[in-house]
Amino acid sequence: MGLLDGKVAIVTGAGGGIGRAEALLLASEGAQIVVNDLGGARDGTGSSESAAGKVVAEIEAAGGRAVASFDDVSTPSGAEKIIAAAVTAFGRLDVLVNNAGILRDKSLLKMDEAMWDAVIAVHLKGTFLCTQAAAKQMVSQGGGGRIVNTTSVSGMMGNFGQANYAAAKAGIYGLTRTAAIELQKHRITVNALAPIAKTRLTEDLPMFQTATDSLTPDHVAPAALFLGSDLCGDRTGHVLAVAGAQMYIYKVVQSAGKFKDENGVWTAQEIADNWDAIAKI
């Protein structure tokens, strides 16, 4: 018995890297898979059907069932077609893993509007569109469902040269939290992964220039399987970070804060004088 026997899952950006590892693992646990990938370059330009097709072939060679989708997550019609691919091929949708992404890194002062728009469109808008379309399908079916988004350490903490990417990933955190609240009544859990792994997107980053045998997509995939399976239970709205063998949770934490003695309006000078107390966790 597999953890996902009888389930139908979509993995976007599954033509390589983390998405491929997630698709292969979910398939090995019994899920029927829609392997979505536009097949473009790392910066999002171009397209090819070969990447998704190869992963479908891998799944089928291992005895699983899969179909390819080459649709663009960043357009409403593309997102709708991705969900329709699952329903047409397998009759339903139980799990969505939003993994598709591109990079156009540049420091803030050198970034142009096109770089900003392209990254926001794929990561944040794409996650919104696919989540919305998937949730509508899951609600119409009844029985709940599971949505797994992909945020990033950059989105939670910031990272030099990635203002567009970090903003998109931070937005995905907010989207995940809100969708978790709104969809809970429909028994749809919405969680996110914050992975660190060496892939085509990240291989030239400084942190991956040394030995990275412990930072592979295969380390990340089990987290997606957990969040997409019944092992997750009713846990929702969480960010599960994966860095090789380490897993941890990201949370936005509110400090205890400080009240002004008279319950009045703070002055700027008083804020400066009391900063340490205000900020103390």
Q: Tell me, yes or no, whether 70 and 157 share the same domain.
A: yes
What is residue 222's predicted lDDT score, i.e. its pLDDT?
96
Q: Measure the CA dihedral 171/130/229/16, to 10°.
A: -90
Cβ pair 197, 215 in contact under 8 A: yes
Residues 109 and 181 in one domain: yes
Could you tell me the residue range of the domain that residue 276 belongs to?
A: 254-281
Residue 27's nearest CA partner among 51, 13, 7 is 7
Query: Strand, coil or helix: what is 263?
Result: coil
Q: Are residues 63 and 185 in the same domain?
A: yes
Do the domain assignments include residue 88? yes
DSSP state of 232: G
Whether residues 224 and 260 fall in one domain = no
Q: CA 176, CA 170: separation in Å to the nearest integer?
A: 10
Question: Which positions are catalytic?
Answer: 165
The answer to whether residue 87 is domain-embedded is yes
**CATH code, domain with 190:** 3.40.50.720
- Residue 138, both tokens: 């899951």
Q: Provide the edge-to-edge strand list for the sheet that holds 8-12.
A: 66-69, 32-36, 8-12, 95-97, 145-150, 188-196, 239-243, 246-250
| Same-domain status, 86 and 141 | yes
Residues 67, 175, single domain; the answer is yes
The per-residue pLDDT for 44 is 81
Rg (CA), the chain: 20
- Record the pTM: 0.93
d(CA 81, CA 75): 10
Structural domain tally of the chain? Answer: 2
Is 3 part of a structural domain of the chain?
Answer: no
pLDDT per residue as tens, the chain (281 positions): 899 999 999 999 999 999 999 999 999 999 999 999 998 877 687 767 889 999 999 999 999 999 999 999 999 999 999 999 999 999 999 999 999 999 999 999 999 999 999 999 999 999 999 999 999 999 999 999 999 999 999 999 999 999 999 999 999 999 999 999 999 999 999 999 999 864 555 545 555 545 556 778 999 999 999 999 999 999 999 999 999 889 999 999 999 999 998 779 999 999 999 999 999 99
